[in-house]
Amino acid sequence: MNISIFGLGYVGCVGAACLAKLGHHVIGNDISENKVRLINEGKPTIIEADIDELVKEGRESGRLEASMDIQYVVDKSDISFICVGTPSGKQGHLNLDYIYNVARQIGKAIRHKESFHIVAIRSTVLPGTNKRVGEIIAEASGKQRGRDFTVVSNPEFLREGTSVEDYINPPLTLIGTDSEDAEKTFRELYKDIHGEFIATDIEVAEIMKYVNNTYHALKIVFANEVGNICKSLGIDSHKVMEIFCKDRQLNISPYYFKPGFAYGGSCLPKDCKALRTLAHDHYVKTPVINAIDPSNELQKKIAMDIIESKGRKSIGILGLSFKAGTDDLRNSPIVDVAEVLYGKGYDVRIYDRNVRVSQLTGTNADFIQAKLPRLYQIITDDLDEICQACDVLVVTNKEKEFADLPEKYPHKCIVDLVRQFKALDYEGNYEGISWANINNNAAQDQPIERNMLTTEY
Ligand SMILES: NC(=O)c1ccc[n+]([C@@H]2O[C@H](COP(=O)([O-])OP(=O)(O)OC[C@H]3O[C@@H](n4cnc5c(N)ncnc54)[C@H](O)[C@@H]3O)[C@@H](O)[C@H]2O)c1
């Protein structure tokens, strides 16, 4: 394929050399004359393992060149990669000026081009950039996105120092696109690159790199805080983390990685608190570990706010225990939400087929006695009755019996704390706690009519 690369720094130089190695014809462009000259002399613009040989080979094979002439670069290619820098501005915002400048230049250059052009954003950019780049190109070219050109998001995952190796062996290849043709082209382009090829929504691809890097940073500071606690206790933290990493079911695994409601139960809250207190007693500062509990509390507050925002008085809570399939109510986060709603005077009703108030014993009974002493008055074992009676249905666990709520009870407000539904075509109003709207029904967009008196301060 014929490819142009805008920006010949770390990402652009490695991409250009590797794509040439894979058999494509690549033309690089940079505002730096020096970088363009270096590529044309068969020399890399950066210092990296294996890159000298690759650029030299690419140049000798005739598959790699560079030019300052943007029209030439665009005319000679079907895909243009944007690999320019995205530095932080003074206030920490991302400066996307370089990206938009290149988009404008590419737009002008494709004005007279007959063939379809794909622009791929390789730089790290925030969600929404792809759309804006498309608008700039459309404006500058007078052409139409989807018909004459498209913009895909193809974030780069390489790490400096091992960038050539990472390019050929990435953890995965990610394309965010709204064009089937572009997806096909990219599958073909990357067919010799190892790892899974994933085509997804544009915004999903755009945010991915930030999610990855923030998680990597979180891993590092978590391991460091654990290390600091271990050191204060005379424990070898490397032995601890080695064993930690061997648990591939719960620790290094997809488990717990589903956005949703707060955690609860008798172990996580208690054990996090114990480790935090242990660190404190040994004068070890653990700001990340200390932040876990406030973040969890915030998630309960978010659930409360969503429920209250529906402006209805009767609230049906479907599931009270801390997870499906148990009657354990200790530290169940929805009990806290129910307690506040009940205290505020909402007409709260609760359904949980596993909970029998009369059979609660020990700490379970004590917990409920402290939080919801009148539970026996508001709990029912009739799911239909509660769904009929309440305007807002709050789904708190993934029991199968809640799966057909939208069909059975149209026109209710459903608040989903566990992603019970994948996608919906629901007549009523649906809101998930931590994901964008998945209800495609137009009824969703109608403003909610509030039938509760509110006090304005
Ligand atoms: N370096 C990494 O390890 C890495 C890894 C993944 C993603 N990224 C992301 O990729 C992007 C590029 O990073 P980098 O490290 O390669 O940056 P870099 O600064 O090394 O290279 C950017 C290049 O773009 C050029 N440039 C600027 N404006 C231009 C224009 N209008 N036309 C043509 N060229 C132009 C600059 O002269 C420079 O050579 C950033 O968004 C970065 O966050 C970097």
Which pLDDT value is given to residue 457?
55
Q: What is the chain's Cα-based Rg?
A: 28
pLDDT of amino acid 327: 86
CA angle, residues 191, 125, 77, in degrees to nearest 5: 45
d(Cα 119, Cα 79) in Å, to the nearest integer?
6
With a 6 A CB cut-off, is 416 part of the ligand 1 pocket? no
Residues 242 and 312 in one domain: no
CB atoms within 10 A of CB 247: 11
183 and 238 assigned to the same domain:
no
Q: Which helix (H) or strand (E) holds 58?
A: helix 51-61
| pLDDT in the model for residue 24 | 97
> For the domain that residue 147 is a member of, what is the CATH number?
3.40.50.720
b/e per residue 81-118 (b: at least 16 CB within 10 A) = bbbbebeeeeeeebebebbbebbbbbbbbbeebeebbb
Same domain (yes/no): 106, 136 = yes
Q: Does residue 108 sit in the same domain as residue 167?
A: yes
Is 245 tagged catalytic?
no
Residues 6+ apart with CB under 8 A from 380: 349, 350, 351, 386
Q: Is the CB of 18 under 6 A from ligand 1?
A: no
The CA distance from 342 to 344, in Å, is 5
Q: Is the CB of 6 under 6 A from ligand 1?
A: yes
Three state DSSP letters for 130-141: HHHHHHHHHHHH
Are both 62 and 183 inside the same structural domain?
yes
Same domain? For 151 and 215 the reply is no
Residues 6+ apart with CB under 8 A from 171: 157, 195
CB-neighbour burial class of residue 10 (10 A; exposed 0-12, middle 13-18, buried 19+): buried
Distance in Å, CA 123 to ligand 1 centroid? 7
Which atom of ligand 1 is the closest one to the Cα of 10? 16
Q: Which of 230, 267, 390, 413 is catalytic?
A: 267
Distance of CA 52 from the midpoint of ligand 1 (Å): 19
Averaged over successive runs of 10 residues, the pLDDT of the chain (457 residues) comes to 97 97 97 98 96 97 98 97 92 91 98 95 96 98 97 94 93 96 97 95 96 97 98 98 98 97 93 97 98 98 97 96 86 95 96 89 89 92 96 95 96 96 95 96 90 63
Does 260 fall in a domain? Answer: no
CA of 28 to the centre of ligand 1 (A): 12
- 286: in domain: no
Q: What is the pLDDT of residue 363?
A: 87
The answer to whether residue 185 is domain-embedded is yes
Q: What is the DSSP letter of 320?
A: -
Residues 107, 246, single domain; the answer is no
Q: Are residues 179 and 244 in the same domain?
A: no
122 C-alpha vs ligand 1 centroid, how far in Å?
Answer: 9
CB atoms within 10 A of CB 384: 11
Of the chain, the end-to-end C-alpha distance in Å amounts to: 64
Residue 230's pLDDT is what? 98
What would the two tokens of residue 11 be?
């990402």
State which residues form the domain around 226. Answer: 203-251
Q: How far apart are CA 327 and CA 357, in angstroms?
A: 10
- Residue 40 beta carbon below 6 angstroms from any ligand 1 atom: no
Q: How many CB atoms lie within 10 A of CB 155?
A: 21
The structural domain count of the chain equals 3
Measured between alpha carbons, how far is residue 151 from residues 12, 164, 371, 400, 413 in Å? 17, 25, 53, 41, 37
Closest by Cα among 335, 384, 337, 328 to 356: 328
Whether residue 280 is contained in a domain is answered as: no
Q: Residue 360: which of 332, 399, 400 has the closest Cα?
A: 332
Same domain, 110 and 99: yes
Report the SS3 class of residue 350: strand
Atom of ligand 1 nearest to the CA of 29: 33
User: Sheet harboring 379-380: ordered strands across?
Assistant: 379-380, 347-351, 314-318, 392-395, 413-416, 429-432
Does any domain span residue 130? yes
